[in-house]
Amino acid sequence: MTTITPQMVKDLRDRSGAGMGDVKKALEANDGNIEAAMDWLREKGISKAAKKSGRAAAEGIVWAVSNGKTGIMIEVNSETDFAARNEQFSGFVKKAAELALEAGAGTVDAVKALAYGNGKTIGEQLTDMIATVGENMELRRAAKLESADGNVGAYIHMGGKIGALVAVSGGDVGEVARQVAMHVAASNPAALDRDSVDQDMLARERGIYEAQAAESGKPAAVVEKIVEGRVSKFLEEICLVDQPFVMDPDRKVGKVVADAKAGAKVSGFVRFGLGEGVEKEESNFAEEVMKQIAGAA
């Protein structure tokens, strides 16, 4: 049997764009014959899937699930909203999230490595879907929150456009945790509380307020009070526990949780907005059709 060398693996990876593991399997299955291994990858749809991996995937679904004590959220992207609305795709995302919850898997690599239930891993199942559907798909993000002495609430908005997890410690307040997750989805806070605010961001804001207040020509003591007042208002706007609760604007989120159970408090949150941070290439539909016609000619 032919020995599979690192150079053979590199050559096939360069040609196919497939992953290291798939390349090794292909070479082993074809006794080191690179051409046969290339055909093997194409037959499996792996090479085809790899070629699509460079295309921007900014659509898709965010899905969050909780069992009360643990919450898992994942984002799986596709190139088009049409593919995202496909029942096969949505079913895959939901099943992957549930499997991740059962296993307590909170990272992309950990989720991909889980058994999907058909002899394949979640990552391998996703690769198969790429080949079948014909566009790039990516398990882009995963997050996990836990609360040993409280609850984790999960919320999905607009069928998977926004997802949120909220952990509450110090009390069994599951419904309140879910409602605060709804608040997070709607308000998109930048930090949990004032202690967790990014100090560089806060310094920039303070600098802006100081420059604005200095132009007023008022005494230094007055300027200082103006700046501190604006900083305090800014923190109230961006910190989850200080924000007016969307369902009861007369109370802040922190107060709502404390009122639900003495000693309860929000201990963490995660929010995913579908496709945030992904640069989606804008294409001209007519031009794309003409390219395909030219390519087929």
Domain holding 92: CATH number?
A: 3.30.479.20
CA distances from 146 to 71, 107, 262 (A): 6, 14, 20
Q: Check whether residue 87 and residue 149 sit in a common domain.
A: yes
Q: Check whether residue 20 and residue 154 sit in a common domain.
A: no
Q: Quick one: DSSP state of residue 257?
A: H
The answer to whether residue 122 sits within a structural domain is: yes
> Residue 285 — pLDDT band, cuts 50, 70, 90?
very low
Q: Looking at the 3D structure of the chain, how many domains does it have?
A: 3
Instruction: Kindly report the length of the chain.
Output: 297
- The answer, yes or no, to whether residue 291 has pLDDT greater than 80, is no
Q: Check whether residue 11 and residue 86 sit in a common domain.
A: no
Taking each helix axis as running N to C, give the angle between helix 20-29 and helix 6-16, from 0 to 180 degrees, rounded to the nearest 10.
110
> Residue 294 — pLDDT band, cuts 50, 70, 90?
low
- The answer, yes or no, to whether residue 282 has pLDDT greater than 80, is no
Q: Check whether residue 160 and residue 214 sit in a common domain.
A: no
Q: What is the pTM of this model?
A: 0.76
- The answer, yes or no, to whether residue 47 has pLDDT greater than 70, is no
Of 43, 35, 31, 76, residue with least CA distance to 57:
76
DSSP labels, 151-209? EEEEEEETTTTEEEEEEEESS--HHHHHHHHHHHHHH--SBSSGGGS-HHHHHHHHHHH
Q: What local confidence, expressed as pLDDT, does residue 216 receive?
A: 86
The answer to whether residue 202 sits within a structural domain is: yes
Q: Check whether residue 237 and residue 96 sit in a common domain.
A: no
Separation of alpha carbons 264 and 248, rounded Å: 18
Q: Check whether residue 269 and residue 244 sit in a common domain.
A: no
The answer to whether residue 236 sits within a structural domain is: yes
The answer to whether residue 17 sits within a structural domain is: yes
Q: Check whether residue 150 and residue 166 sit in a common domain.
A: yes
Choice between 241 and 85, residue whose per-residue pLDDT is larger: 241
CA count, 13 A, side-chain hemisphere, 295: 6
Write out the residue range of the structural domain in which residue 206 sits. 194-260
Name, of 51-60, 125-134, 209-218, 265-274, the range with top average pLDDT. Answer: 265-274
Q: Check whether residue 44 and residue 135 sit in a common domain.
A: no
Q: What is the mean pLDDT of the chain?
A: 88
The answer to whether residue 21 sits within a structural domain is: yes
CA count, 13 A, side-chain hemisphere, 35: 0
Separation of alpha carbons 51 and 56, rounded Å: 12
Domain holding 22: CATH number?
A: 1.10.8.10
Based on the number of CB atoms within 10 Å of its own CB, is 138 exposed (0-12), middle (13-18) or buried (19 or more)?
buried
The answer to whether residue 184 sits within a structural domain is: no
> Residue 51 — pLDDT band, cuts 50, 70, 90?
low
The answer to whether residue 290 sits within a structural domain is: no
> Residue 24 — pLDDT band, cuts 50, 70, 90?
confident
Q: Check whether residue 107 and residue 167 sit in a common domain.
A: yes
Q: Check whether residue 165 and residue 66 sit in a common domain.
A: yes
Q: Check whether residue 65 and residue 166 sit in a common domain.
A: yes
Q: Check whether residue 73 and residue 43 sit in a common domain.
A: no
| 142 backbone dihedrals φ, ψ, rounded to 5° | -150, 150
- The answer, yes or no, to whether residue 176 has pLDDT greater than 70, is yes
Cα torsion through 7, 8, 10, 12, rounded to 10: 160
| CB of 256 closer than 8 Å to CB of 180 | yes
The answer to whether residue 187 sits within a structural domain is: no
Q: What local confidence, expressed as pLDDT, does residue 269 receive?
A: 98
